[in-house]
Amino acid sequence: MDYEDIGLMAGIEIHQQLDTKEKLFCRCPTKLRDVSEKNGEFKRYLRATESEMGEIDRAAKEEMKKQDRIYTYYEYDTTCLVENDEEPPAPMNPEAVELALTMAKMMDMSPVGQVHVMRKLVIDGSNTSGFQRTSLVALNGRIPCIPGGAGIESICLEEEAAQRVEGDLFSLDRLGIPLAEITTAPDMKTPEQVKEVAAYIGMLLRSTGRVKRGIGTIRQDVNISIRGGARVEIKGVQDLNLIDEVVRREILRQQNLLFIRDELIKREASVSDEIFDVTELFKDTGSAILKKAKSILAVRLLGFNGLVGKEIQPGRRLGSEMSDYAKKCGVGGLFHTDELPAYGVSEEEVIKLRGFTNANPGDCVILVADTKKRAQCAIGQILMRAEMAFSGVPEETRKMLEEGSTSYMRPLPGAARMYPETDVLPVDITDEYWEELRIPELITEKEKRFAEEMGLDPALAKNIAYSVRRPLFEIAVSKGVKPNLAARTLYSTLRELKRDGVDTVSLSDADILEIMLAVEAEKAAKEAVPDLLRAVSKGDSVASAIEKIAPSVSEEELSEVVSAVINERIDFVKEQGMRALGPLMGVVMKEMRGRVDGKVISEALKNELKKVL
Amino acid sequence: MDYEDIGLMAGIEIHQQLDTKEKLFCRCPTKLRDVSEKNGEFKRYLRATESEMGEIDRAAKEEMKKQDRIYTYYEYDTTCLVENDEEPPAPMNPEAVELALTMAKMMDMSPVGQVHVMRKLVIDGSNTSGFQRTSLVALNGRIPCIPGGAGIESICLEEEAAQRVEGDLFSLDRLGIPLAEITTAPDMKTPEQVKEVAAYIGMLLRSTGRVKRGIGTIRQDVNISIRGGARVEIKGVQDLNLIDEVVRREILRQQNLLFIRDELIKREASVSDEIFDVTELFKDTGSAILKKAKSILAVRLLGFNGLVGKEIQPGRRLGSEMSDYAKKCGVGGLFHTDELPAYGVSEEEVIKLRGFTNANPGDCVILVADTKKRAQCAIGQILMRAEMAFSGVPEETRKMLEEGSTSYMRPLPGAARMYPETDVLPVDITDEYWEELRIPELITEKEKRFAEEMGLDPALAKNIAYSVRRPLFEIAVSKGVKPNLAARTLYSTLRELKRDGVDTVSLSDADILEIMLAVEAEKAAKEAVPDLLRAVSKGDSVASAIEKIAPSVSEEELSEVVSAVINERIDFVKEQGMRALGPLMGVVMKEMRGRVDGKVISEALKNELKKVL
Amino acid sequence: METGERVLCKYAGTQLKGTYITERNGKAVIKLDSGYNIGVLHSTLEVIPKEKPAAPSPKKIEQNEKLPKLSIISTGGTIASKIDYRTGAVTSQFEADDILRAIPGLKDIAHFNAHVPATILSENMTPAIWKTLARTIFDEINSGTEGIIVTHGTDTMAYSAAAVSFMVQTPVPIIFAGSQRSADRPSSDNVMNGMCSAAAALSDLGEVAVVMHATTNDDYCAVHRGTRVRKMHTSRRDAFKSMNIKPLGIVDYPSLDVKLEDSVVRRGENKAALFDNLEENVGLLYFYPGMKPEVISAFSGYKGLVIAGTGLGHTSSACIGAVRDLTKAGTVVVMTSQCLNGRVCDRVYDTGRDLLDAGIIEGEDMLPEVAFVKLMWVLGQEKDTEKVKALMKTDLRGETGRCTPHGL
Amino acid sequence: METGERVLCKYAGTQLKGTYITERNGKAVIKLDSGYNIGVLHSTLEVIPKEKPAAPSPKKIEQNEKLPKLSIISTGGTIASKIDYRTGAVTSQFEADDILRAIPGLKDIAHFNAHVPATILSENMTPAIWKTLARTIFDEINSGTEGIIVTHGTDTMAYSAAAVSFMVQTPVPIIFAGSQRSADRPSSDNVMNGMCSAAAALSDLGEVAVVMHATTNDDYCAVHRGTRVRKMHTSRRDAFKSMNIKPLGIVDYPSLDVKLEDSVVRRGENKAALFDNLEENVGLLYFYPGMKPEVISAFSGYKGLVIAGTGLGHTSSACIGAVRDLTKAGTVVVMTSQCLNGRVCDRVYDTGRDLLDAGIIEGEDMLPEVAFVKLMWVLGQEKDTEKVKALMKTDLRGETGRCTPHGL
């Protein structure tokens, strides 16, 4: 596809959790807990409020359609009254500000003179306050990863939302973890560029060594539009490998919506706002959903026949879009005549329906079944979305589905959902402060340096450069651990141990470092490292693990063992001469079980063999 | 029996609950609640403390033998932190002080110059504080009811204890109700005199019209000694009719104990303090109690054979006394060889027991079965009581049993259990205050006055004088209700209604008075009184009851009814003449259903008859 | 530049459109069209002429005249707070009518009459404003309202509720309500507190009460007697607690069912009466170990002083002389306890007896703050010292009980 | 007549024998042989010569030297109270040894060393006595005790526990214990509190704590951190409550099992150290509506002042000038909240920001009383104002937390 031809414009937003000691607006740790560790809970309602400008945000209004939802929040020993929205926030965490500004500097941005914390209305329950605190910290940078580079519009420092456990139940441990939101300009011209930029920014953030790692700690949103279409924001692309596919499918969706638009205009289609109560029609239906519904309402989309059922993206039809809108009222979905008879609705019932509603063959009839109140709300949403079809692509926030298609979430939020967080004082960013911020080496540069200067195998260099343990690698090397030992231990050995079921997460950096230093100090053989790590992971101290597994061996002891091994095999030795060295190495190594370095054993064997021969 | 000959000396203590508005040391009402109305409970331990003189009271010490008993208290909407022993007491209720002093004045006593509130140690759980607050308010009076009169030693104003629900569970509603304790001199020389004095004092107290009535509101303790015996206090004689029998039985008990003493001395009996563990002996016994006991201990009372089982009072033996002492340790009782074999213990086991303990035929062996700790404690108590048998009658506080016999409670308390209640300021009784106290008329005087001055039938006069409703009677009469109507209504009518199941308790004095006044004002016939009371007891207002049952009848209406009745029976009337009055009365009365007084009807009938005849 | 003016910000190589908000620490605060506020140097700004948007004019609230009549009397507070652009902080500048906008459900349960006798942060409450407030309430009662809601900042709400309790004898409920989390957030407690207050104001109650969240959940409000309530947390929704008595009742949310205890004063039990005289020359003093007697003497010339003593109502022996000097000079000194719960009793310990001897009045089980307000009021009604003493120990508005209930 | 003399009272026609106790309101108080006290005219009394009984001499308590060593340091208080015959009230005149007599169980769990640095009613506690107390405790720690029990009147126990928390850095438990119901009654809480304190003093704790009844039942004691505890009821057994944190643990009764929270400082974590300097010229002021600025100015010349403000930490705007004058003149002013629970935050409202501008220090989630004691102590250690401010906001002895826990 010629992306230039269709006028593709794409940009991304990257949300990265920061690995600070404390949260952004309270002093709780940025630790996640298991739901089973909750030690309290509470329940609250949320309501949209007017902004300082006197408006209610359209996205918030949409959420309010589901009235009087009561949200439940789980509390932990690591959460406090700030997460509970029961105490004013503490001043912004300076560590997080410093980290966000460091990122900004890495992307050649300009800091704002004074950082103001804003409240961004979010009333889906994921924020106990009903808003997310966010602040714009820097503007207008550029990164060099694609031809011509990509503009970075802004970096915001935000608080992470509460984790949804299920339905309207949230876990407070995640709420308030600092989050850097990096927004690029819509500079990407192909799906592949989107992926490249996302990957580059990810690398850049990890280069700080101070971001969270693991599932859910980084999330990409993609902004896409094509000529004639509209800006659509797709939320929550967690898997980088899908990001180009998401872009491709959105292009497809927008193209199909534009096709439908043109077709509707050609057909002189229209939307009838006449609502039919067809509950009686289905009182003996074979559809379980319709049969149990208290109220079934129908509307006609005149001239829509066949278009509502048209696929616009794999697994998605115009009908799916309408259904998404309808669900905001709490209904389960809708039926439309493009897909009927089906789902237990008979041919005969469809005919009766079309008759009752006076529908022409070119019309599509839509059904919604629920309580009267909800069904009425849903019909309104459906009519609204049907009207939108005449202008093609609506501006929307959408949610990625499993394979890369998307569903509607809410309208694009406007500026009205932002208003000042009055409980937090602004932070002045002085020139001196900005000047003194140190830019960390990029992982890509490290990778090169590890290979070229430290002589690591390029693959290992890359692996260790991108590894979570990379900061430890650099510390270890700076303390005298040989790069190869450090890299193999921290990347390969830990990986293998993990594969074997060892709880490597519980190994502290300090312990791993101590083990590597012991090897360098020849207090343990490098062959003993896996066993030592294994022991320490089970709760041993490093010292006691060394004592048990690799007690320092005196030269005397070693030479005794070597002598014994040679004497037992003296005929073989006499026969083979110095060639016996290789085979005997294995025997002695096994005997010493990693307590002595291979090189030392080899030396001792050589000496002893020389004596004997 | 010649009581003078045996040197009987008896005195009584009367405990009378006062019907004050509030309690003695807090402002809670003096109302009792049903246990089911409790709205809270708490649990506490109590421990004997030293008095201001540095001693622990012997009675308290005895209670302490049951170590670490935890007491449970029920709270009510009518109890407060003072009953809970969680707040200092309020100043002494002046209403109670005034009432106690009035009683004192009625008995010709002298008030103390300054009333000091004392704490009397009571650690059986019936007082949350571990003491009962009591104060000596007046001294040395005399009442004239027996030949020579009876001396009144003192009147104390105390707080009532908590009501025991069961075991160690108490109800706080009763705690703190004011209690007058009247102690006579030991001036009574016969059982009958005891009864007379008790009755007289009861009458005197009720003459105030301000004491509680009903079961448990008045309790008599009796102090008895005979020559050679000892002072014994018998607690809780609630039924006045039993009091003389109690005295007689105590005389019998003391005589028998003296007999046993003499017999023991004659036999040169003694108490062996050697304790035998005989648990093994009874491991296959037929006695369930012994079989399940963890420890069975035995002691020998040398030369006691036959005396331990000797009846000293109906249903009581020396063994019962020992058993009472033993129970203080928490054991269920004891076995002694005077009563064995029995209770599942076989002849053979008794022989083995005597053999094992080296007991001679003249000895008595006592067994206690329980935990080792409790059994040891009990054996100590038994030996102590056995030793006491050599001096005859111990000074004791005893509890009345159902028929008038008594059981041991605790040693007579000494002065050491009294120490000052420092949280309550002393109350000065000035001469002016004392002078101004008005003495109420005695019930006996009232009885006379009601009969002589008001012309009531002597029996009715007595009944109404002693009745709970007597104050209302006097008020009613003072307001113009005829004494006979008032007395019959308040005594006979209410009694009958109660017998018929009417809830007469719910009838307020004000309502009854209003009904009687309505009769006097001829708004209702006196015949209607029972029906009116019945209606009001069911919740009707007096006015509406009169409206429904006895609407005022106009003369016109009455004369119409009378005319009608006569005309219907005109032949009969003509025949009988004025003799028809009687039979016609009944007819008209029935017609008017109590709405018109009989006399009025009679008058109207007479007039009408005269006219007709 | 004026708040609301459209500006172009040339900064960091871009041109950003926005709206000028205010100046803060020497920087210009602008709201970008993205919604974010940032602080920039004034020199980066250019005014865009004629683009100033009209402030949206809020629609007039339509009320249903058929519903029962309630009065909302606003004194300020976060139940009706708005942002102060000068400091960026929240201040109370709404008019009472705005409460109906903030709590739309209100207009479905009653027809409201609104008065704004004051718009203050509640820490600035004064006896003078209490008088105005009391008069406004009294006038509303006389005009036939079914009940009164006083919106009030939470800081001194308990003091004001006590003051109104004494100043206004009322046949209808007078409900104080506020919010601990300001009205400008979706999670604000103002909606639930406001709705529950209205339900309480229509209920059978005949007392002055505070109606606020009973728990941290949005589940029900407690109805606290105005003379027995205290703010017991700086920031939680359930900060208000009844002290020494159980709450008068609860209002369930969202059902708005009102459950009252049997013991409450009922609607219509009392006639309306106004007693708005207050002696303002009254102090409240918190004793602490090592307090110098001069701290007490600083109140000489005052008509009344409430001491929050330790435990059962004590000061150090060293301070008793200063207390005696005050009482001798005619200051009425009332002893309360900093324990807040329980009853003062100065008969138990030496120091207490000495204080009684020095002329203090035991404040029974009154909260120090309530005793303070009551003393102002009693001294405003009565000059005779013995009568003042008697009144201080007498229960007038449920502020003290003859017995201290168990189990709170 | 002397207390204890035998007398014959001729009154009301009888002759009553008794013992002379004291004089009260012009009357002679005698204890009759029946045990009752009565007040009579002196003229009714005759002394009976030579019948004066010897006061019973209490037996010496035998201690088991093999048990662990604990120290009892007595300052007075009702855990060891006796009757004062002068006023008839309870005073604290016992020596520490008497506590072993009052609580016989103690001698079975430890071997006690006793000191009596003061015998006062606790409302008379002063910074000077705190110094003596701290030194006595420090000396005991150095002499190798396993733990310390400080018996103390309950009125100011929380203040003293806070003071000792700051003054003594301790490797062993320092347990404050007292009783709300005096030792002279069978229902006294002294036995359970004393036994539980001893168990706590032998536990793994390494902090200063208050150990008192947790409920009105005799079921268990709570272990409260010395810098987080407050007396919250005048008279109940369970008057002491941990504020803003959960108790450090509980001691079950009668099993004496000690359960401590994971977060407590453990025995031996800290080395013993004494910091017994206190700046005594520090005040504590409770703000109230309508407060005149002069009340604040009365503290001019003070080195430090803690204000218990309303809500999140406010005074009226009218008082801010007086606060500014104090801070300008060098008084360190710390803001706390009379809400007692929750955290001060002066960044939210105008008044708070103005107070910050006037130089106050936010007292975080410290209790006003604890902030007061801490300020005395900090000013005793450090003269530099900036360092004083920093120390006041830093958690030194668990008196403040970085986060306010939910669910208390």
Q: What was the pLDDT predicted at A178?
A: 98
Q: What was the pLDDT predicted at D22?
A: 87
Q: Let me know if D78 is a catalytic residue.
A: yes
Q: Residue C366 — φ and ψ, nearest 5°? A: -80, 145
A45: nearest CB among C34, C40, C218: C218
Q: What was the pLDDT predicted at D85?
A: 47
Q: Which CA distances in Å does B95 have to A76, B19, B156, B210, B373?
A: 58, 10, 15, 10, 49
Task: Write the DSSP assignment of A448-513 as a string of letters.
Answer: HHHHHTT---HHHHHHHHHSTTHHHHHHHHHTT--HHHHHIIIIIIHHHHHHTT--GGG--HHHHH
Whether chain B has a CB inside 8 Å of the CB on D288: the answer is no
Q: Which residues contact A198 (CB under 8 A, 6 or more apart)?
A: A12, A14, A220, A240, A243
Q: Which of C78, C170, C227, C400 is catalytic?
A: C78
Task: Tell whether the model's pLDDT for residue A601 goes beyond 90.
Answer: no
Looking at beta carbons, which residues of chain B come within 8 Å of D154?
none
pLDDT tens-digit series, residues D22-36: 888 899 999 888 889
Chain C, window 203-232: residues with a beta carbon less than 8 angstroms from a chain A beta carbon: 215-219
Gyration radius of chain C over CA positions = 25
Interface test with C, best of A39, A41, A49 (most C CBs within 10 A): A49
- Kindly identify which residue of chain B lies nearest to residue C263, measuring between CA atoms: B77
Identity of the residue numbered A378:
A
Whether chain C has a CB inside 8 Å of the CB on D22: the answer is no
Residue of A478, A550, A484, A475 whose CA lies nearest to A512? A475
Q: Residue ranges of the domains in chain A?
A: 3-237, 270-389, 443-549, 555-612
Residue in the structure block whose two tokens are 């005295």: B247
C402/B27 CB distance under 8 A: yes
Looking at beta carbons, which residues of chain B come within 8 Å of D11?
110, 139
Mean pLDDT of A346-373: 93
Tell me how close the Cα of D146 comes to any Cα of chain C, in angstroms: 30
D235/C284 CB distance under 8 A: no
D6-47 and D69-274: same fold? no
Task: Using a threshold of 3 CB pairs under 8 A, tell whether chains B and A touch.
Answer: no
pLDDT tens-digit series, residues B532-580: 999 999 888 888 888 777 766 777 778 888 888 888 888 888 888 888 8
Task: Please name the chains neighbouring A, where neighbouring means 3+ C-beta pairs under 8 angstroms.
Answer: C, D
Q: Let me know if C154 is a catalytic residue.
A: yes
D406: nearest CB among A40, A88, A423: A40
C88/A70 CB distance under 8 A: no
Chain C, window 319-358: residues with a beta carbon less than 8 angstroms from a chain B beta carbon: 342-343, 345, 347-348
Looking at beta carbons, which residues of chain D come within 8 Å of B89?
none
- Kindly identify which residue of chain B lies nearest to residue D34, measuring between CA atoms: B415
SS3 B580: helix
Q: What was the pLDDT predicted at D80?
A: 60
Q: What was the pLDDT predicted at D54?
A: 52
Tell me how close the Cα of A131 comes to any Cα of chain D, in angstroms: 17
Region of A209 on the Ramachandran plot (φ > 0 left; ψ -120 to 50 alpha; else beta): left
* pTM reported for the whole predicted model: 0.86
For residue B193, the Cα-to-chain-centroid distance in whole angstroms is 19
Q: What was the pLDDT predicted at B595?
A: 72
D290/C126 CB distance under 8 A: yes
In whole angstroms, give the CA distance from residue B155 to residue B144.
Answer: 17
Tell me how close the Cα of D79 comes to any Cα of chain B, in angstroms: 13
Q: Residue ranges of the domains in chain D?
A: 6-47, 69-274, 282-392
Tell me how close the Cα of D38 comes to any Cα of chain B, in angstroms: 5
Alpha-carbon dihedral A31, A37, A40, A41, rounded to 10 degrees: 80
Task: Tell whether the model's pLDDT for residue C88 goes beyond 50.
Answer: no
- Kindly identify which residue of chain C lies nearest to residue B75, measuring between CA atoms: C406
Interface test with D, best of C123, C240, C306, C360 (most D CBs within 10 A): C123
Pairs of residues, one from chain B and one from chain C, whose beta carbons lie less than 8 Å apart: 41
Q: Which of D22, D170, D231, D303 is catalytic?
A: D231
Q: Let me know if D231 is a catalytic residue.
A: yes
Interface test with B, best of C403, C404, C408 (most B CBs within 10 A): C403
Q: What was the pLDDT predicted at B561?
A: 84
Q: Residue C397 — φ and ψ, nearest 5°? A: -135, 40
Let me know: does B507 contact B532? Beta carbons within 8 Å. no
In CATH, what number does C6-47 get? 2.30.30.520
Q: What was the pLDDT predicted at A50?
A: 61
B113: nearest CB among D27, D31, D217: D27
Q: What was the pLDDT predicted at A552?
A: 66
Task: Tell whether the model's pLDDT for residue D273 goes beyond 60.
Answer: yes
| Token representation of residue A458 | 């390029």
Q: What was the pLDDT predicted at C249?
A: 97
Let me know: does D189 contact D236? Beta carbons within 8 Å. no
C403: nearest CB among B27, B40, B422: B27
User: What average pLDDT does chain D have?
Assistant: 91
Region of A450 on the Ramachandran plot (φ > 0 left; ψ -120 to 50 alpha; else beta): alpha
Q: What was the pLDDT predicted at D306?
A: 98
pLDDT tens-digit series, residues A130-152: 999 999 999 999 999 888 889 99
pLDDT tens-digit series, residues D236-247: 999 999 999 999
D406/A75 CB distance under 8 A: yes
Helix axes D127-142, D157-167, angle to 10 degrees: 50
Residue-wise burial string across A407-428, b where 16 or more C-beta atoms lie within 10 A, e elsewhere: bbbbbbbbbbbbbbbbbbbbbe
D186/B110 CB distance under 8 A: no
Task: Please name the chains neighbouring C, where neighbouring means 3+ C-beta pairs under 8 angstroms.
Answer: A, B, D
Fold of B270-389: Gyrase A; domain 2 (3.30.1360)
Whether chain D has a CB inside 8 Å of the CB on A476: the answer is no
In CATH, what number does C282-392 get? 3.40.50.40
Identity of the residue numbered B291:
K
Looking at beta carbons, which residues of chain C come within 8 Å of D154?
311
B425: nearest CB among C347, C403, C407: C347
Which range among A473-487, A567-581, B75-89, B398-412 shows the weakest confidence by mean pLDDT? Answer: A567-581
- Kindly identify which residue of chain B lies nearest to residue C345, measuring between CA atoms: B88
B87/D234 CB distance under 8 A: yes
Q: Which CA distances in Å does A443 have to A100, A208, A457, A493, A603?
A: 17, 9, 16, 21, 40
In whole angstroms, give the CA distance from residue D232 to residue B208.
Answer: 45
Categorize the per-residue pLDDT at C79 as very low, low, confident or very high, splitting at 50, 70 and 90. Answer: low
Q: What was the pLDDT predicted at B182?
A: 97
Let me know: does A601 contact A559? Beta carbons within 8 Å. no
User: What average pLDDT does chain A have?
Assistant: 90
Which range among C77-86, C216-225, D192-201 shows the weakest confidence by mean pLDDT? Answer: C77-86
Other C-beta atoms lying within 10 Å of the C-beta of residue C13: 12
Identity of the residue numbered B351:
I
C298: nearest CB among D126, D298, D315: D298
Looking at beta carbons, which residues of chain B come within 8 Å of D91?
none
* Assigned superfamily of C69-274: L-asparaginase, N-terminal domain (3.40.50.1170)
Looking at beta carbons, which residues of chain C come within 8 Å of B27?
402-403
Looking at beta carbons, which residues of chain D come within 8 Å of C294?
298
Q: Which residue has the higher pLDDT, D99 or C245?
A: C245
Residue-wise burial string across A572-605, b where 16 or more C-beta atoms lie within 10 A, e elsewhere: ebeebeeebeeebbebbbeebebbbbeeebbebb
Whether chain C has a CB inside 8 Å of the CB on D311: the answer is yes
Task: Tell whether the model's pLDDT for residue D175 goes beyond 90.
Answer: yes
D348/A423 CB distance under 8 A: yes
In whole angstroms, give the CA distance from residue B328 to residue B322.
Answer: 10
pLDDT tens-digit series, residues D353-377: 999 999 999 999 999 999 999 999 9
Whether chain C has a CB inside 8 Å of the CB on A169: the answer is no
SS3 B371: coil
In whole angstroms, give the CA distance from residue C206 to residue C270.
Answer: 7
Looking at beta carbons, which residues of chain D come within 8 Å of A28?
403
Q: Is B612 exposed, middle or buried (CB count within 10 Å of its CB: 0-12, 13-18, 19+)? A: middle
